[in-house]
Structure 1
Amino acid sequence: MIGVASMRRLFRIITRIELIGVIFWTVILFWGEFWVTSNAISNCGWTTWEHWKADARPTRIVVLADPQIVDDNTYPGRPRALERATEMYSDIYLHRVWTGIATWLQPDAIIFLGDLFDGGREWKDNFKWEAEYNRFRRIFPDRNVPLYYVVGNHDIGIGTGVLSETVDRFEKFFGEANGVFELGNHSLVLLDSLSLMNREDQSINNKSRKLLQNLATEKPELPRVLFTHIPLFRPGDANCGSKREGSKSLPLTKGYQYQTALDQDLTSEILTSICPVVIFSGDDHDACEYTHEYLNPITSTLVYTQEFTVKSVSMAMGVWWPGFELISLWNPGQLDYTFQTKLCVLPSQYTIWMIYGISALLTIVTLAVVYLIAISRRPWQAIPDDSLMIRFLKTPVTREFFNIGLSALLIYSILIYYCMI
């Protein structure tokens, strides 16, 4: 057996390694669960990219697209345990981002661009809806900031799939699906284009159509900013710009309760009725920038209006790097360009998990090396039948492995708890 002196020396080594291991995992978990997200959001601070005059007092808005909180409809066929784990981690990620926005950006308003839920349109009973609504509020608790909500196709459906009861239910909890409000000396227009796509039932499209008619007959007193869920029509090969992760264009496709872009005639009607200076949309989950060209019916001039399709803020919506949009509005009355915008890109949760995996492997290798060094310097006089693995399980190194693992789990639990309050 190992001598007493050798055992004491090994215990001293193990104790030092245990302390180093706990410190190492404290740093790694703090980085992954707190710092990396906070750092990404703080780097998007308003003053780092705004270019107004020194005396400007802009109104600042955060736009979040497609949180689409994971539920039973998200990954059909996935094992239930994995599905629950996906729900938990995506909720943690969204809440972490929400906390970072409130802490580092402190916007004047926050606008959600629809698809708050994933299966909202599928829930027939209000009990399920209210349970998921309460979950949504736990993820995005009140931060004393005005909130505005655009409705998404995963919330109420699309076109002929929209039912009056699903729209009424959404409006009961989140406010009117259509509306105009003044902020930052601009008129912000929230448009339910999903109901507008129902051309057969006037009881469904009435509110959206009435909004367009009212705006079309009024000369804009303030610059109008349009917020809608589905992107407006553009050619299928139109380049979305360098901020897009996937294919360089937004594909024009249709399917069950979805359509990747509005119809061309409806797009033209929206543009000429609202005459927006800029448009923000969601739905696609990836970033896309496109410039629309149309004839202003009031001035009879050709107008070019940028549309920004905003990345999904969720880690579970098919983009490696989620994100959100920042809008800065400043309209003292004599500027031609009254808004500035920036895409704030968030860290990849999958990269964070890979760092955790590499760190775990490094921990195991380090402990194995310590064990091999220990037995090479003080050969054992062990029972001949003992295998190397049995010897390893009998050593203090094993205790060290479990101590570090339990410490890391405790640290992780504390950080998760901190992030969720």
Structure 2
Amino acid sequence: MEVPPPYAPTTYSGGSLKKAFLRDSIDHNEYTPTCLRLIAQYNAMLKNEAVNKEFGSLEKFKDRFGLEYVLGIERLKVGIPVTFGETVSTANTAIQTQVSDIDFNKNSGNDLSGGKMKGGAKSIAEITGNFITCMDAVRLKYRAKDQLHPLLSELVTSLNRITIDGKDFTGKGTSCYWKDDKDLVRLVAFGDPQIRGVNSASSLRTKIDIWGNDYYLAHIYKVLVQFLEPTHVSIMGDLISSQWISNKEFYEREQRFSKKIFRKDILLKNTHFFNICGNHDIGYAGEMTKERVDRFEKLYGSVNFVNYYPEGYRIVVLNSLAIDGPGWENIYYDQTLKFLHSLKKEEYKGPTILLTHVPMYKESGICKDGPLFNYYGSEYRNVLKEQNQLSQESTKMVLECVFNLEYGGVILTGHDHDGCVIEYEHNKTEWIIINSKSGYRVTKSTIIGPKILEATVRSMMGEFGGNAGLLSASIDQKNQWMFNYRLCPFHVQHLWWATQVITIFSAILIATFFVFRKLK
């Protein structure tokens, strides 16, 4: 009888491999990576829904087709080669490897050395196997995204399972990845792109600079969304660089925004896309006019709305610029206040993700931008001209109206280009900040249960490093919502352009060399 795929070849090969190793036909240097590769292939097969539906577990498969490859089946169940965590003697050497005792942080420069590693030998074996599989794919000249992305995702997911004393290992904190690519929420947020414009008076240098900046922003966006495959994407306000431009210029910049930089056609089919209004889009409260708000909503979407999701969470988009005043047209204050009160009256039973431009109030020193309010003179009715954060009273109102005490959630903001990450908890009276020092130094945070995480996404402009904020959400084993935020820095713009120029120059030199060689 011909035994069908997928488990049979791996089972048979695993058994034969161990026999060869035990008989000294191959040494541990050849056995270990081969065994890891077979285990990784087996694990990859298990994650295929069609395979699971057709063949079920390894035990069911073995019984169904009468397999007797005891050694191979044993290795697949254990999940690690015999050389991991076991003492194996051969004719030439005695090998003893205990992976769980390895100090992976020795001389690493952090405080994790000597700590207890979560994951053990099986996790290390899985990581090694996934790495070998990725390298094999490259050697086989796999180039397509749909070929490489699942393998890389599997490798990153296995790496994420490793912690030492509950902390990430060196280098992990600066990586751009999801803790689990099956999280219910995988939101990528881009802060304050501030797309600039040109006119007939602009110099050639300015035109080239703006063209290059568009290309730089588009490259960051394209690379991250295609690799991370988010469920949601949000631009955190200040889509353009000035609220004072004409309607004609506003529409021209929107075309660059949607057709060239933040293209929706490269996203997965059901990805949700949010445009948050910033002060450079519609102005602060004292500059917010009907013309500015109308043109924004026409091209980018509503300034206040809420989306509900079947998984049990909601996303609220809020025009925080209209809350503090005095404003030029009070209609937008009234609209936003009515929207907030409707959210409070609803008493939503679930966590909320709030997307807005202006950060909540914080005392000086927590974030780079401290509290600041400036006003126009009496000739302009003393209306609000500028603010760094919401007022203390407005912050309290927003937190009470938007968030349920039993669930909490997340606030994502822009505006402060340096970024800042803080956490709140409720003290039975009000929401209070619990990490009150140096929030601008924090680049990642995780909350579980009824807390609020506020992350001001560092700007994606070149001088700030081309950043994105990654927010993921899942439900843990205790049925509590868990939110994880981390900053994803891309490249400083001039360094990125240097690599592009060097690459182009090298290509021209190589092409020129072959042309002259052919002519000779």
Q: Is 1:177 aligned to residue 311 of structure 2? A: no
Alignment-mate amino acid for residue 314 of structure 1: M
Deviation at 1:211, TM superposition (A): 1.5
Q: Is 1:135 aligned to residue 256 of structure 2? A: yes
Residue equivalent to 1:86: 209
Please, which of 262, 265, 278 is the counterpart of residue 410 of structure 2?
Answer: 278
Residue equivalent to 2:474: 330
Distance in 1 between residues matched to 2:187 and 2:337, nearest whole Å: 27
Please, which of 453, 457, 462 is the counterpart of residue 310 of structure 1?
Answer: 457
Q: Is 1:404 aligned to residue 503 of structure 2? A: no
Identify if the C-alpha distance between structure 1 residues 290 and 50 changes in structure 2 by more than 3 Å, giving closer, same or farther.
farther
Which sits farther off after the overlay, 351-360 or 144-153? 351-360
Distance in 1 between residues matched to 2:369 and 2:431, nearest whole Å: 31
Deviation at 1:87, TM superposition (A): 0.6
- CA displacement, residues 182-202 of structure 1 (integer Å, 9 cap, x when unaligned): 245311111100122244543
Alignment-mate amino acid for residue 152 of structure 1: G
The secondary structure found in structure 2 opposite 1:187 is strand
Asked if 1 retains the 8 angstrom alpha-carbon contact of 2:197 and 2:249, the reply is: no
Equivalent residues in 2 for 1:338-377, closer than 5 Å: 338-354=482-498
Identify if the C-alpha distance between structure 1 residues 66 and 57 changes in structure 2 by more than 3 Å, giving closer, same or farther.
closer
Asked if 2 retains the 8 angstrom alpha-carbon contact of 1:64 and 1:111, the reply is: yes
Between the two structures, name the one with larger relative contact order (CA 8 Å, sep ≥ 6): 1
Please, which of 249, 252, 265 is the counterpart of residue 371 of structure 2?
Answer: 252
Alignment-mate amino acid for residue 237 of structure 2: G
The secondary structure found in structure 2 opposite 1:131 is helix
Equivalent residues in 2 for 1:195-274, closer than 5 Å: 195-200=322-327, 201-238=329-366, 240=367, 249-254=368-373, 257-274=385-402
Asked if 2 retains the 8 angstrom alpha-carbon contact of 1:271 and 1:294, the reply is: no
Distance in 1 between residues matched to 2:427 and 2:226, nearest whole Å: 42
Distance in 1 between residues matched to 2:386 and 2:279, nearest whole Å: 7
Question: Gaps spanning 5+ residues in structure 1: where?
Answer: 1-38, 241-248, 364-402, 409-421
Residue equivalent to 1:114: 237
Distance in 2 between residues matched to 1:328 and 1:54, nearest whole Å: 9
The secondary structure found in structure 2 opposite 1:160 is coil
Distance in 2 between residues matched to 1:285 and 1:299, nearest whole Å: 25
Deviation at 1:160, TM superposition (A): 1.5
Residue equivalent to 1:418: none
After TM superposition, the score normalised by the length of structure 2 is 0.53
Distance in 1 between residues matched to 2:254 and 2:181, nearest whole Å: 41
Identify if the C-alpha distance between structure 1 residues 108 and 81 changes in structure 2 by more than 3 Å, giving closer, same or farther.
same
What percentage of aligned pairs have identical amino acids?
26
Residue equivalent to 1:288: 420
Distance in 1 between residues matched to 2:279 and 2:335, nearest whole Å: 17
Deviation at 1:102, TM superposition (A): 3.0
Alignment-mate amino acid for residue 195 of structure 1: A
The secondary structure found in structure 1 opposite 2:484 is strand
Distance in 1 between residues matched to 2:417 and 2:180, nearest whole Å: 35
Deviation at 1:88, TM superposition (A): 0.9
Q: Is 1:148 aligned to residue 274 of structure 2? A: yes
The secondary structure found in structure 1 opposite 2:361 is coil
Asked if 1 retains the 8 angstrom alpha-carbon contact of 2:235 and 2:275, the reply is: yes
- CA displacement, residues 202-225 of structure 1 (integer Å, 9 cap, x when unaligned): 312122111110112222211111
The runs of at least 4 aligned residues of structure 1 exceeding 6 Å deviation read 50-55, 297-300, 356-361
The secondary structure found in structure 2 opposite 1:159 is coil
Distance in 1 between residues matched to 2:431 and 2:210, nearest whole Å: 50
The secondary structure found in structure 2 opposite 1:278 is strand
The secondary structure found in structure 1 opposite 2:286 is helix
Question: Gaps spanning 5+ residues in structure 2: where?
Answer: 1-148, 163-177, 376-384, 435-449, 514-520
Distance in 1 between residues matched to 2:213 and 2:488, nearest whole Å: 18
